[in-house]
Amino acid sequence: MPKIWKYQKYFVNLQANMKSIARNIVLLIACLTTSAVFSRESLDILLQHPITSSANITLLVQDLESGELIDLYRPQNVAPPASVMKLLPTATSLETLGADYRFSTYIEYTGTIRDGVLHGDLYVRGTGDPTLGSQKVGDRNFLTKWVRAIKEAGIREIRGQVIADLSHFDADAINPGWIWEDIGNYYAPGVYALSYMDNTMNVVLRSGAVGSIAEVQYTVPEVPGVQFDNHIRCTSTMHDGAFVHGAAYSYTRYLTGSVPSNQGSFGVQGDLPNPGLLLVQHFSERLESAGIVLQAEPTYRSEADRTSRTLLYTWQSAPLKDIIMETNTHSNNLFAESIFRTFAANYTTPCTIHNSADFEKDFWSRRGVNLRSARIVDGCGLAPQDALSAEMLVQLLTYMYRSKNRDAFYASLPVSGQSGTLRSLLPGTELEGRVHAKSGTIAATKNFAGYIELPNGKTWVFAVMVSFGNGKSKDIQRVIGNYLLDLYKTKGKE
């Protein structure tokens, strides 16, 4: 049986490679004859504009049903995808786990329960659910239900500890490919088997006179033991340039940058140093408020033996389709990374970031999506080493449009001029409401990949990636928007 599987896998990969070669020949011929086949007017909006003329550009626009090439420019060149990268883990999770999949969190115990006393430890074991206590998705009253489950089990006293079990993921809570500028900020939180409250805390400052150090007042939520090395200065400008930096599990956070002066209370968001520990601390407080006696302080473990435990209660998250809706519509990095880490945890041992990336590449290569030259460092696109091409993205999007999970995937994409991160793209134009796509934004970079609905009922699948432009991301977006609108007017109404 192993040999049969080995040969089956070989022929599947060979078939995918032959399809890829055929596509490459078509694209090569198209690229060599671009000036003859395509009108250069729309493309020149990108290639000749001062903001994008010297940028790294890769684009491909294709008719979804016929496969007709509408426009292309260096479609096989790779570029930093930024948050367009989220299309990979969201599509992969739908195809492997299903739209109705739910993350499970387990409450378990060791020892025995006798006469209302738990003679042992109570464990909260996470499996990557990013929605516990989230302001975005899920049930915010979940702790009330957890406490009820403990009481229904007849427990009135716990002689051991309440322990957060973080062992489902490996120790790389912070992706090693992320840069210091991002690490510790709210949009780049650590990713743990137990997430809590979006892994985010709000640091409330009081700004004073110009040149003074802003005073740290408190945090929301309150984080026991957290300390701040504060270097945030108050300035005469109205720009908020404050940053939070810090390592996973470390309770020292470095505050740098500046905030406007004389503004009273002022908030800057950073990540929680250990969300799993804060979760069991809050859980313990709720248990005590319900009259359950605890004999020890709550704690956490990154490595834990599960063999001697008894399952007491299982909590399940909102369905995956709701989590993916938040991930793509609002470009939620924590949700994307939690989904991405799950591939390794569910399908390979040990759970590592590299194994998640390898799983994605292998999964899609067997379905005709050529990711061999891709660089996958994370799931959300924060890593500057990430690299995808327009061709890869169009192949992925074409597959998902024909998938049984099409509806959940399509619904998760924001809409031009109307929702999510595409609200500012092409509002008030003929393309408002017609572009369903994921955006990606980093400094001097703007990317879009998704679908364009045409008045004749046809659909284009597209990816436009512009990196290292000569301007801000919003300026690049304006140029891309003009390109898409011109292409739609000249070829979308034929």
Q: Which of 200-204, 233-237, 397-401, 461-465 shows the lowest per-residue confidence on average (mean pLDDT)?
A: 233-237
For residue range 338-362, list pLDDT tens digits in order: 999 999 887 776 688 999 999 999 9
Q: Let me know whether 357 and 404 are in one domain.
A: yes
Regarding whether 248 and 172 lie in a shared domain, the answer is: yes
Q: How many CB atoms lie within 10 A of CB 378?
A: 25
Structure tokens belonging to residue 300: 């956490």
Average pLDDT across the chain, whole number: 91
Checking if the pLDDT of 9 tops 90, the result is no
Final residue in a domain of this structure, among 318, 348, 377 = 318
Q: What is the mean pLDDT of residues 157-179?
A: 94
The pTM assigned to this predicted structure is 0.90
pLDDT digits (tens, 9 = 90+) for 266-313: 889 999 999 999 999 999 999 999 999 999 999 999 988 888 999 999
- Write the secondary structure of the chain as one string of H (helix), E (strand) and C (coil): CHHHHHHHHHHHHHHHHHHHHHHHHHHHHHHHCHHHHCCHHHHHHHHCCCCCCCCEEEEEEEECCCCCEEEEECCCCEECCHHHHHHHHHHHHHHHHCCCCCCEEEEEECCEEECCEEECCEEEECCCCCCCCCCCCCCCCHHHHHHHHHHHCCCCEECCCEEEECCCCCCCCCCCCCCCCCCCECCCCCCCCCCCHHHEEEEEEEECCCCCECEEEEEECCCCCCEEEECCEEECCCCCEEEEECCCCCCEEEEEEEEECCCEEEEEEEECCCHHHHHHHHHHHHHHHCCCEECCCCEEECCCCCCCCEEEEEEECCCHHHHHHHHHHCCCHHHHHHHHHHHHHHHCCCCCHHHHHHHHHHHHHCCCCCCCCCECCCCCCCCCCCEEEHHHHHHHHHHHHCCCCHHHHHHCCCECCCCHHHCCCCCCCCCCCCEEEEEEEECCEEEEEEEEECCCCCEEEEEEEEECCCCCHHHHHHHHHHHHHHHHHHHCCC
Query: Rounded CA gap, 78 and 430, in Å?
Result: 30
Q: Could you give the CA distance from residue 320 to residue 326 in angstroms, rounded to a whole number?
A: 10
171 pLDDT higher than 50:
yes
Region 139-162: mean pLDDT is 97
Structure tokens at 229: 């090395």
Do β-strands 252-260 and 117-119 pair in parallel, antiparallel, or remain unpaired? unpaired
Domain boundary among 269, 293, 318: 318
What confidence tens digit (pLDDT) does each residue in 208-221 have? 999 999 999 999 99
pLDDT bin (cut points 50, 70, 90) of residue 1 is very low
Written as six digits, the tokens of 72 are 């292309």
Q: Do residues 255 and 334 share a domain? A: no
Residues 442 and 458: their CA atoms lie apart, in Å, by 32
pLDDT > 50? residue 3: no
pLDDT of residue 303: 86
400 touches 64 (CB < 8 A): no
Q: Shortest CA distance to 272 belongs to which of 358, 356, 355, 173?
A: 173
Average of pLDDT values for 452-459? 95
Judgement on whether residues 297 and 432 belong to the same structural domain of the protein: no
Q: Any idea what the CATH number is for the domain that residue 470 is in?
A: 3.40.710.10
pLDDT score recorded for residue 346? 76
Residue 227 has pLDDT above 90, yes or no: yes
pLDDT digits (tens, 9 = 90+) for 460-485: 999 999 999 998 999 999 999 999 99
Give me the pLDDT at residue 36, please: 38
Residues 213 and 275 in one domain: yes
211 dihedral zone (left: phi>0; alpha: psi -120 to 50; beta): left
Q: How far apart are the first and last CA of the chain?
A: 54
- Which domain-ending residue is among 318, 345, 368? 318
* Same-domain check for residues 228 and 333: no
Phi, psi of 471 (to 5 degrees): 170, 180
- Under 8 Å between Cβ of 477 and 464: no
Given a cut of 50, whether residue 383 has pLDDT beyond it is yes
* Residue 52 and residue 81 in one domain: yes
Q: Which residues of 226-245 are buried (b: 16+ CB within 10 A; e: fewer)?
A: bebebebbbbeeeeeebbbb
CA distances from 259 to 182, 186, 222, 268 (A): 18, 17, 22, 9
Q: What average pLDDT does range 309-326 have in this prediction?
A: 98
Q: What pLDDT score was predicted for residue 19?
A: 53
Mean pLDDT of 401-428: 97
- In angstroms, how far apart are the furthest CA atoms of the chain? 85
Q: Which of 325, 490, 335, 310 is nearest to 414 (CA)?
A: 325
Q: Is the pLDDT of residue 223 over 50?
A: yes
Q: Look at residue 266 in the predicted model and tell me its pLDDT.
A: 84
Together in a domain, 118 and 241: yes
Instruction: Say if residue 210 is in the same domain as residue 78.
Output: no
Question: For 131, what's the count of Cα atoms within 13 Å in the CB-facing half-sphere?
Answer: 25
User: Taking 70 as the threshold, does the pLDDT of residue 32 lie above it?
Assistant: no
d(CA 86, CA 78): 16
pLDDT for residue 18: 55
- Same domain? For 209 and 329 the reply is no
pLDDT digits (tens, 9 = 90+) for 82-115: 999 999 999 999 999 999 999 999 999 999 999 9
Report the domain count for the chain: 2
- Among 87-101, 142-156, 170-184, name the one with the lowest average pLDDT: 170-184
Please indicate, yes or no, whether residues 47 and 62 belong to a single structural domain of this protein. Answer: yes
Task: Based on the fold, state whether residues 76 and 7 are members of the same structural domain.
Answer: yes
Residue range 245-261: average pLDDT? 93
Tell me, what's the pLDDT at 461? Answer: 98
pLDDT category at 15 given cuts 50, 70, 90 is low
At how many degrees (to 10) do helices 333-347 and 353-365 cross? 80
Question: 204 is in which domain, residue-wise?
Answer: 102-318
Local confidence band at 17 (pLDDT 50, 70, 90 cut-offs): low
CA distance 340 to 357: 8
Q: What pLDDT, in 10s, does the model give residues 53-86?
A: 999 999 999 999 999 999 999 999 999 999 999 9
Residue 236 pLDDT level (bands cut at 50, 70, 90): confident
124-138 mean pLDDT? 96
CATH number at 205 reads: 3.50.80.20
Q: Which tokens belong to 134? A: 């989230």
The predicted model gives 427-440 an average pLDDT of: 97
